[in-house]
Structure formats: C-alpha cells, structure tokens
C-alpha cells in the first residue's frame, strides 16, 4: 500500500514539510481549492501543486477531489457544459501524472457532522454526528450548523436547490450518475486516471435528500454501471462504518479482491444504536471498527493502492481544520504502517 496524507495547500495549518516526516509517507492528497465547482483547473495551478509536492519529497498521485457540479447530479440540460469541463480536468490531471481522482455524488451536502468540538473521555475533541442534533436543524430556514461543510450557499440558494431535488429520488440519482460515468470513464481510461467514488457520509438520507453510495447492494450496482477498472472506489471505512447495516471488513475483502478499491480512507468511529456516531482514535479498541481486520483484508488481497488516515481527533492542544489536525492523523498513519509491517513479516 502507498501511504498518503490529505493536505489543503499553502493555507493548511499543517505544513507539507511536516507530512514528509511521518514514517513511510509516500504521497500527498490535495486539490485546487480556489476554482468554482464545475470550472476547469488551470495547468499552472496543477503544476504548482505538483512542484510543491515533489519539492518536498512526496508523490503527486491522488487528487481529492474534483467536485461534481449540482447540475450534473440533478440531470439538468446545463450538465453538458460541466461534464465537458470535468473531462478536461481529468485530461489535465492525467498529463500531470495523477493516478487517482476521488470524487463524490452527494446532493448539496458533503460529509455531514453536527458538532466539531465534542469532548471525548480522554480530553481530546472530535467530530460527531448525533441525529438528535440534526433534527433541530432546518436548512430551509437558515437554522443550520454543519462543521466541515462548505457553507457557500445563501439561504435562497439552498431553498432553490431543495426545490430542484424534489424531482430526484434515488433511482433518478442513479440514472444521473450513470450518465456522468458513461461520459467520463472513457476519458479517464485514455488519460490513465482511475476514478474513485467516495461513499455518502453518513450513508443514509440527510434532510430528505437521496443518497446512493451507501452499502454493498448499491456498490455492486454502481460498479456495473460502467464495468471498467477505471470506475472504482474510494473506500472510506468511517463512512460505511457509520451504519450498522454494513459489514466493513467483509466489504473491504470483497472489493479489494475485485481490484476495484483505488483509494482507502481509514477512520474509526464509535457507533451508536441509532447510527449516530463519534469519531475516535484509529486504534481499534477506541471505536466500533476493527482496523487490524480491515488492514488484514487489504493485505491478503495484495492491495497496492493509496491509503490515508482519515479524520483525526484534535489532541495535545492542536487547533486548526476540524478532523484534519496533524498529530492524531500522524499517529493513525504510524499505527497502520505498524500493522502492515507486521503482516508483511508474518507472511
């Protein structure tokens, strides 16, 4: 496996030079963040990211993410322009040597949490998703507080989007995803870039909006939409693990054996009976997921793709982007490296 680390560019409180110092670190996972969703990234911006990454002794192989415009998800006639722009981004990133693009197909909201500073018993703080907190929020009235979500929409924008999504159920969203995939995967094949969809986070409906990348049945359907190795997965253990319906270890084993996992996000969660959850340390006894078993499933299947520690707690007084502090993610990276080394030596 190729160990990687999310970096948000020059404005990230975590310096890229610190990432290089984490043992076994192979690549940085980053993106161009100053271009509106749906627009084409400049060659200059891509090359600047590539140079910064490589100047710091790391590989520029994975982009997370190239966002999908809402018009594509909605299936509007205007999607054609944005699909063409998306194709051009794939080509430009392929020309720069990128091997994998992570993206998602979640309507309106990306990963959703209800609190960013929940205090765990050890005094660290973590992102959490509590259903009772979400029930008190209403995006249509402006009573909304979702840490980590890019709140770039005005109240009017949100109301307009929700109105448009009234005609989009899960079946329609699948149709729109299929249309998108059939347009971009041939381009990805030509560019040598593997597309890796991120699961819905959490993997169930939020505010009545449809979500479809949620579990094994829908993953099987997704992979058949375009049966190509370039149509694959970003398998996020924390996202799938946020539902009691998902057997995460069995799913990792299945899709790694198929060769359709191109990118792994490893995160642990402490799961509640109602599918509420709190994010925990990566170390297996801290959460509901068996990280050792997940790593064993990858190792057994010869996984040689990219893997990064996902959201971490804020520990040792660190402040910064919620879920993306340096210290706890570095501990998670070292924990996973230790598991992998042990598995290698037990062969």
The tens-digit pLDDT sequence of the chain (347 residues) is 999 999 999 999 999 999 999 999 999 999 999 999 999 999 999 999 999 999 999 999 999 999 999 999 999 999 999 999 999 999 999 999 999 999 999 999 888 899 989 999 999 999 999 999 988 888 887 667 676 565 567 788 888 999 999 999 999 999 999 999 999 999 999 999 999 999 999 999 999 999 999 999 999 999 999 999 999 999 999 999 999 999 999 999 999 999 999 999 999 999 999 989 999 999 999 999 999 999 999 999 999 999 999 999 999 999 988 899 999 999 999 999 999 999 999 97
Please report the pLDDT score of residue 156 as a whole number: 85
**Whether residue 299 lies in the annotated active site:** no
Please report the pLDDT score of residue 131 as a whole number: 92
The count of residues in the chain is 347
Please report the pLDDT score of residue 6 as a whole number: 98
Cβ distance 134 to 187 under 8 Å? no
Q: Which residue among 59, 69, 262, 311 is the active-site one? A: 311
Q: Which residue among 230, 255, 324, 335 is the active-site one? A: 324
**Whether residue 275 lies in the annotated active site:** no
Q: Which residue among 236, 262, 282, 299 is the active-site one? A: 236
Q: Which residue among 198, 262, 282, 299 is the active-site one? A: 198
Please report the pLDDT score of residue 175 as a whole number: 98
User: pTM score, two decimals?
Assistant: 0.95
Q: Which residue among 59, 262, 265, 282 is the active-site one? A: 265
Domain segments of the chain: what residues?
2-107+173-345
**How many degrees, rounded to 5, is the angle at CA 306 between CA 302 and CA 310?**
120
Please report the pLDDT score of residue 310 as a whole number: 96
The partner residues of 129 in beta bridges, in order of sequence, read 277
The answer to whether the Cα torsion of 303, 306, 311, 315 is positive or negative is: positive
Q: Residue 291: which residues within 8 A CB-CB, separation 6 or more?
A: 237, 266, 268, 282, 283, 284, 335, 336, 339
Out of 3.40.190.170, 3.10.20.30, 3.40.50.11540, 3.20.20.150, which CATH number does the structure's domain 2-107+173-345 have? 3.20.20.150
Please report the pLDDT score of residue 33 as a whole number: 92
**Whether residue 265 lies in the annotated active site:** yes
Q: Which residue among 61, 310, 328, 335 is the active-site one? A: 310
Please report the pLDDT score of residue 150 as a whole number: 53
Please report the pLDDT score of residue 149 as a whole number: 61
């Amino acid at each position: 496996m190729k160990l990687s680390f999310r970096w948000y560019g020059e404005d990230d409180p975590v310096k890229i030079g610190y990432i290089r110092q984490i043992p076994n670190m192979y690549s940085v996972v980053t993106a161009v963040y100053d271009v509106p969703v749906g627009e084409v990234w400049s060659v200059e911006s891509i090359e600047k990211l590539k140079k910064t990454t490589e100047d710091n002794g790391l590989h520029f192989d994975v982009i997370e993410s190239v966002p999908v415009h809402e018009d594509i998800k909605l299936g509007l006639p205007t999607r054609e322009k944005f699909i063409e722009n998306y194709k051009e981004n794939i080509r430009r990133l392929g020309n720069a040597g990128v091997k994998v693009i992570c993206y998602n197909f979640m309507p309106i909201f990306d990963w959703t949490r209800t609190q960013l500073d929940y205090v765990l018993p050890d005094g660290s703080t973590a992102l959490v998703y509590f259903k009772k907190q979400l029930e008190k929020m209403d995006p249509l009235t402006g009573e909304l507080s979702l840490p980590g979500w890019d709140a770039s929409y005005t109240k009017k924008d949100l109301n307009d989007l929700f109105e448009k999504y009234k005609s989009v159920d899960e079946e329609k969203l699948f149709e729109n995803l299929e249309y998108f995939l059939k347009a971009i995967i041939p381009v990805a094949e030509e560019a040598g870039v593997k597309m890796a969809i991120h699961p819905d986070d959490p993997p169930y409906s939020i505010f009545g909006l449809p979500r479809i990348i949620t579990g094994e049945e829908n993953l099987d359907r997704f992979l058949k939409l375009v049966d190509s190795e370039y149509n694959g997965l970003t398998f996020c253990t924390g996202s799938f693990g946020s539902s009691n319906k998902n057997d995460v270890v069995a799913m990792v084993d299945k899709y790694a054996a198929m060769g359709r996992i191109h990118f792994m996000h490893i995160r642990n969660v402490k799961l509640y009976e109602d599918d509420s959850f709190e994010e925990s340390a990566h170390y297996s006894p801290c959460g509901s997921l068996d990280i050792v078993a997940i790593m064993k499933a990858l190792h057994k299947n010869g996984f040689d793709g990219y893997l990064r520690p996902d959201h971490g707690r804020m520990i040792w007084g660190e402040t910064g982007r919620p879920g993306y502090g340096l210290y706890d993610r570095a501990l998670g990276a070292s924990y996973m490296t230790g598991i992998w080394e042990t598995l290698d030596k037990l062969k």
